[in-house]
């Protein structure tokens, strides 16, 4: 059970305006297969709940070489890839399933998770959770642990969002994928229609809930994290903050290329 795989087919309701799987769709696939694998190895939602624990996604890095199109069949592999302090690491590789013997790699991702006490909402070490986790430390989809992202002051674009019931996950918090969608949609439409996401980095920092009013913001990353950008590429910083108390719920950094 070290490596777990599952097939997906991009459905019409999962495609964006250009007919490709949306960023949110890809993130949902990653979340779904991670949950399936966790269930298979004794670390699923119900098992964790029975021990008064819960998994929380803290950081994510996603790199996309090519977005799959509507109707395209995918295979995604995932596995626990090690630990880093309180973080439990999990990686993914996304493949296109074609007629030939080889599989095209569409993208890859790595993530850092923490286990929280469901009663105290404080982190606990993974060793305290019963279960069998086969960690594959010598295979990494992305070598580096997802980084801590910087804050920023002024924003070029912003908009408020009222969180509702459909934005919540099993723990009653705003779903991780919702944040990703909100943060990306903070960018201008003309940018989203003329550029393609190459890399997404997210830090999930706080718990948002129904009836929260959230301000999503975005601004160009100056200077960019990777030094000099390739021609036509652009990088942005994003944040989502609860209006009222100013709590930062998540931060992100995105890299875009023409296409």
Report yes or no on 142 lying in a domain.
no
Per the structure block, which two tokens stand in for 74? 């995918």
Q: What is the CATH number of the domain that holds 71?
A: 3.10.129.10
Determine phi and psi for 40, rounding to 5 degrees. Answer: -70, -30
Per the structure block, which two tokens stand in for 118? 């469901």
Place of tokens 């305290």: 128
pLDDT one-digit tens code per residue, 149-201:
999 999 999 999 999 999 999 888 999 999 999 999 999 999 999 999 999 99
Please write down the long-range contacts of 219-223, taking CB distance under 8 Å and 24 or more positions apart.
Answer: 219/152, 219/154, 219/155, 219/156, 219/157, 220/156, 221/253
Q: What confidence score (pLDDT) does residue 68 get?
A: 97
Question: Rounded to whole angstroms, what are the CA distances from 161 to 23, 149, 206?
Answer: 19, 22, 16
Q: Are 111 and 8 in a shared domain?
A: yes
Answer whether residue 130 shows pLDDT above 70.
no
Q: Are 210 and 164 in a shared domain?
A: yes
Report yes or no on 150 lying in a domain.
no
Q: Provide the number of structural domains found in the chain.
A: 2
Whether the CB-CB separation of 184 and 26 falls below 8 Å is answered with: no
Q: Are 36 and 121 in a shared domain?
A: yes
> In angstroms, rounded to a whole number, what is the distance separating the alpha carbons of residues 26 and 111?
14
Q: What confidence score (pLDDT) does residue 224 get?
A: 87
Average pLDDT over residues 192-217: 96
Q: Are 13 and 124 in a shared domain?
A: yes
Omega prior to 89 cis, within 30 of 0: no
Task: Identify the domain containing residue 228 by its residue range.
Answer: 157-258
Answer whether residue 258 shows pLDDT above 80.
yes
Q: If 0-12 CB within 10 Å is exposed, 13-18 middle and 19+ buried, where does residue 90 land?
A: buried
Q: How confident is the model at residue 99 (pLDDT cuts 50, 70, 90)?
A: low
pTM score of the predicted model: 0.94
Q: How many CB atoms lie within 10 A of CB 5?
A: 14
Q: What confidence score (pLDDT) does residue 131 get?
A: 60
Q: What confidence score (pLDDT) does residue 42 get?
A: 82
Report yes or no on 123 lying in a domain.
yes
Q: What confidence score (pLDDT) does residue 117 get?
A: 83
């Amino acid at each position: 059970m070290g490596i777990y795989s599952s097939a997906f087919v991009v459905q019409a309701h999962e495609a964006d305006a250009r007919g490709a799987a949306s960023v949110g769709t890809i993130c949902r696939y990653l979340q779904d297969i991670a949950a399936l694998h966790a269930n298979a190895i004794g670390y699923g939602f119900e098992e964790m709940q029975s021990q008064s624990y819960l998994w929380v996604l803290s950081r994510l890095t996603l790199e996309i070489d090519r977005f799959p199109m509507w109707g395209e069949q995918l295979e995604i592999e995932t596995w626990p890839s090690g630990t880093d302090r309180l973080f439990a690491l999990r990686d993914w590789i996304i493949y296109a399933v074609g007629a030939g013997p080889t599989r095209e790699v569409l993208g890859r991702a790595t993530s850092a998770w923490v286990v929280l006490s469901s009663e105290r909402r404080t982190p606990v070490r993974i060793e305290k959770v019963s279960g069998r986790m086969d960690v594959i430390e010598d295979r990494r989809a992305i070598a580096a642990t997802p980084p801590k992202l910087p804050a920023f002051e002024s924003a070029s674009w912003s908009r408020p969002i009222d969180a509702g019931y459909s934005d919540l996950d099993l723990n009653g918090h705003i779903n991780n994928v919702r944040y990703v969608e909100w943060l990306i949609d903070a960018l201008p439409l003309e940018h989203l229609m003329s550029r393609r996401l190459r890399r997404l980095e997210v830090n999930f920092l706080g718990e948002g809930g129904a009836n929260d009013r959230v301000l999503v913001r975005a601004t160009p990353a100056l200077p960019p994290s990777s030094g000099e950008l390739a021609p036509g590429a652009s990088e942005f910083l994003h944040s989502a903050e609860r209006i009222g108390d100013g709590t930062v719920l998540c931060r992100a950094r995105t890299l875009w290329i023409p296409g």
